[in-house]
Amino acid sequence: MGAFMNFAVLASGHGGNLQAIINAVKKKKIKAHLKLVVSDRADAYALVRARKANISSVSINPQDFPDREAFDRKVLEHFKNFDIDFVVLAGYMRLLGRRFIKQYPHKILNIHPALLPAFKGVRAIREALAYGVKVTGVSVHFVVEEMDSGAIIMQQAVPISSRDTAKSLATKIHRVEHKIYPQAIDWLARRKLRVVGRRVFLR
């Protein structure tokens, strides 16, 4: 298979999924090197998690750049410096531009707290609850320009009980995210994924 691939994580917030990824790398459940964590917020706790794990990290303020493309160029510069092979989004709240995505075709992963294509966007958990569906879940997908629209790698259902609140449902969803995201990342790292149109197959 060759040498392990290098990857970076983009995160904007608390970093729960980042911590699951860090743990999986340490346990060799992800056979790749986590080289860099980048955040668009200097106060993101994800940066603290990276530092505690001795992983290089950097915060880049979008307001320091005239547009999204200029911001993305700066992020890509850091990726080049660290020889990044693929990218993982973990609670990253910014859309990636066309230039960014073209640099990493089928090499950018995201996780979404719903069974796509249902409930796209940042309010997926609350919207599923409000709609009254009995089952929601988690989707891992490739990133494309249109939000939450890339080819789906894996999904897992999460039942909604009559007692669930947005908080309790989020807890159940996060538990599943922390389980399946490292698996999908490892598949990508070991070149196990084959994409045919919108369908993703495991080699």
For the annotated catalytic residues, the residue numbers are: 112
* Residue 203 in tokens: 């080699």
Round the CA-based radius of gyration of the chain to a whole number and report it: 16
Residues forming beta bridges with residue 39, ordered by sequence position: 11, 59
Residues forming beta bridges with residue 109, ordered by sequence position: 88, 142
Residues forming beta bridges with residue 110, ordered by sequence position: 141
Q: Which amino acid is at 177?
A: E
Please report where in the chains the tokens 């495991």 appear, as a residue: 202
Helix, strand and coil content of the chain, in percent to the nearest 5, comes to 35, 25, 40
Q: How far apart are CA 120 and CA 141, in angstroms?
A: 12
CA 53 to chain centre: 18
